């Protein structure tokens, strides 16, 4: 079909892939492609179909995705963002587009909308991508999908949104009638002017504003799910890692002190709020790389089920709540530890995670910092043996996490991980290094037990917390068994996620933990 004069005509490309779970979205959409196509396709062949991009064709917004990609790939240029904002929205979009461009093959396309568009175009209908996104990005999307005849998009001096988009469509079509698919308040003028309006997951206020032009039979999208996506994004299941804050109190045998226990509980809540903010930040920066992972692609931000602005706002609120609680009810030393944790995790998300081996050492340090936080919250002194043990143990587990990720890459015939410093050839050295680090943690435990049984003469740091310290030797074989078993299971591909999350679901790990605790209790009697 020939395009109008001045239109951007794009070649038909092989349709791009979309997520497997989008098949469910198609099944659950309020109006199926077949119903809509049969109702409108036959009588609409001479009426152009104009399609919005952000929030309509894709879940999410290319402007926000570009900002996150900029912070991820070029953090050294982050200071330029406020200067670009001063140029206006069109100038901001143009500056961003010159520096970064999201991979169009990885965008979270809405399967139901995309299938409807393909059906309409196959029936001979003219389809136009009309978007406020920058023309450079819009043209890439159109070229990738191969379902658009023309593209209307923002340029360096024009932000094609709302009334401007409507004027551009009318000029492009020489005043002819058109149908429009949109989702937001900015699309209301276009929906009202269109012959038929199609809405994607619309808010109630948008439906009211569109008025008679909207028919519920022409609605696409999900039925809610924002709250579920938000809860999934803050990962409350990962708060279990913050139980390490209780370790100093347990090793000091002060777990029955209700005042100290209340302090630790407050520290646990504050740390969990801060940790959730960090998880959100990490997911914001990793949207593109997560979309290439078989499991992480279903995360709320990567899949587009949670908007980036909502995630940014939630991240800020969680950090504010965490520090407000800490400053009001906990010692200054804990607030300082929490600040160090936030700084280290932010640095990890922005830079360290791309560095070979440095990332696993920092990860281990973050676990150890949780133990330090437990000490600063209660004033309990922490043994150097405990800190050394945790560093070796958690470095082993961090290496295991990277090891399982490399196994997934190997199974998918990928040589190197995007955004990481590892290649599949590293599997051999990590296979040797990980178990060795785990065994070193057992060695530290053995040295500590020996220290408790035969303390140096005159050492004032030793406290009579264990009446039968030799019973502690029972911890070593249990710990050694658990570490070696975990590595064997990792090599057998029995789990492909966080080793600690796996341990919380594994019955054998629970039995090992109970046996270790029993040995400690018996040693104390």
pLDDT for 181 equals 95
CATH 3.30.70.1290 fits 22-223, yes or no: no
Q: pLDDT in tens for each of the 525 residues of the chain?
A: 333 333 343 333 333 333 334 433 433 333 333 333 333 443 456 899 999 999 999 999 999 999 999 988 888 888 999 999 999 999 999 999 999 999 999 999 999 999 999 999 999 999 999 999 999 999 999 999 999 999 999 998 899 999 999 999 999 999 999 999 999 999 999 999 999 999 998 888 898 888 887 788 789 976 556 788 888 899 888 888 899 999 998 888 888 889 999 999 999 999 999 999 999 999 998 898 889 888 888 899 999 989 999 999 999 999 999 999 999 999 999 999 999 999 999 888 888 888 888 999 999 999 999 999 999 999 888 888 999 999 999 999 999 989 988 888 888 888 777 667 788 888 999 999 999 999 999 999 999 888 888 777 655 455 567 788 888 899 999 999 999 999 999 998 887 667 887 888 889 999 999 999 899 888 887
Give the SS3 label for residue 158: strand
282: CB partners within 8 A, 6+ apart: 345, 349
Tokens, residue 112: 């139901």
pLDDT for 223 equals 57
What is the Cα 81 distance to its own chain's centre?
22
What is the Cα 342 distance to its own chain's centre?
17
pLDDT for 355 equals 86
DSSP state of 58: B
Which runs of E-coded beta strand occur in 384-431? none
DSSP state of 351: T
pLDDT for 16 equals 37
pLDDT for 200 equals 93
**C-alpha count within 13 angstroms, C-beta hemisphere, residue 36:** 27
The arrangement of secondary structure in 225-382, i.e. its CATH architecture, is: Orthogonal Bundle (1.10)
Check: CB of residue 176 under 8 Å from CB of residue 153: no
pLDDT for 149 equals 94
DSSP state of 41: T
446: CB partners within 8 A, 6+ apart: 473, 476
Residue spans of the domains in the chain: they are 22-223, 225-382
Q: Is the pTM here over 0.75, yes or no?
A: yes
pLDDT for 160 equals 94
262: CB partners within 8 A, 6+ apart: none
pLDDT for 497 equals 66
Report in angstroms the alpha-carbon separations of 494 from 383, 408, 485, 491.
Answer: 35, 12, 11, 8
Beta bridge partners of 109: 58
């Amino acid at each position: 079909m020939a395009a109008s004069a001045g239109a951007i005509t794009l070649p038909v490309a092989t349709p791009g892939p979309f997520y497997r779970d989008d098949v469910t979205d198609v099944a659950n959409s309020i109006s199926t492609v077949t119903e809509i196509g049969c109702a409108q396709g036959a009588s609409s062949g001479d009426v152009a179909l104009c399609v919005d991009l952000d929030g309509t064709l894709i879940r999410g917004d290319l402007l926000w995705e570009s900002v996150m990609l900029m912070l991820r790939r070029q953090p050294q240029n982050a200071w330029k963002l406020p200067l670009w904002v001063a140029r206006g929205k069109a100038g901001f979009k143009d500056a961003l587009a010159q520096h970064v461009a999201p991979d169009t093959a990885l965008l979270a396309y809405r399967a139901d909308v995309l299938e409807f568009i393909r059906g309409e175009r196959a029936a001979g209908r003219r389809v136009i991508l009309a978007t406020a996104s920058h023309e450079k990005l819009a043209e890439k999307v159109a070229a990738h999908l191969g379902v658009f005849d023309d593209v209307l998009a923002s340029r360096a001096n024009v932000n094609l949104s709302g009334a401007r988009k409507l004027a551009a469509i009318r000029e492009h079509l020489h005043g002819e009638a058109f149908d429009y698919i949109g989702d937001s308040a900015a699309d209301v003028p276009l929906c009202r002017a269109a012959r038929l309006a199609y809405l994607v997951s619309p808010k109630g206020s948008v439906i009211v504003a569109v008025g008679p032009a909207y028919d519920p039979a022409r609605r696409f999208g999900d039925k809610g799910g924002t709250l579920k996506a938000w809860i999934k994004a803050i990962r409350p299941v990962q708060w279990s890692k913050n139980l390490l804050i209780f370790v100093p109190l347990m090793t000091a045998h002060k777990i029955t002190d209700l005042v100290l226990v209340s302090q630790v509980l407050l520290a646990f809540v504050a740390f969990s709020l801060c940790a959730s903010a960090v998880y959100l930040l990490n997911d914001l920066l990793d949207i593109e790389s997560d979309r290439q992972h078989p499991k992480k692609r279903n995360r709320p931000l990567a899949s587009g089920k949670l908007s980036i602005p909502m995630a940014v706002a939630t991240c800020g609120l969680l950090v504010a709540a965490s520090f407000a609680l800490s400053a009001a009810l906990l010692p200054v030393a804990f607030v300082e530890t929490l600040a160090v944790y936030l700084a280290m995790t932010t640095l990890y998300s922005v830079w360290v995670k791309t560095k070979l081996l440095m990332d696993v050492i920092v990860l281990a340090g973050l676990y150890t910092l949780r133990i330090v936080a437990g000490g600063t919250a209660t004033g309990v002194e922490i043994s150097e043996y405990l800190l050394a043990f945790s560093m070796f143990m958690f470095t082993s587990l961090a290496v295991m996490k990277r090891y399982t990720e490399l196994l997934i890459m190997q199974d998918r015939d990928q040589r190197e991980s995007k955004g990481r410093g590892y290649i599949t050839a590293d599997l051999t050295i990590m296979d040797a290094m990980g178990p060795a680090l785990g065994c070193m943690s057992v060695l530290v435990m053995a040295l500590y037990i020996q220290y408790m049984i035969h303390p140096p003469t005159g050492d004032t740091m030793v406290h009579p917390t264990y009446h039968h310290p030799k019973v502690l030797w029972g911890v070593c074989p249990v710990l050694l068994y658990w570490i070696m078993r975990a590595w064997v299971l990792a090599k057998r591909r029995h789990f492909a996620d966080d080793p600690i999350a796996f341990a919380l679901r594994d019955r054998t790990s629970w039995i090992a933990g109970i046996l270790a605790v029993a040995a400690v209790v018996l040693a104390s009697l």
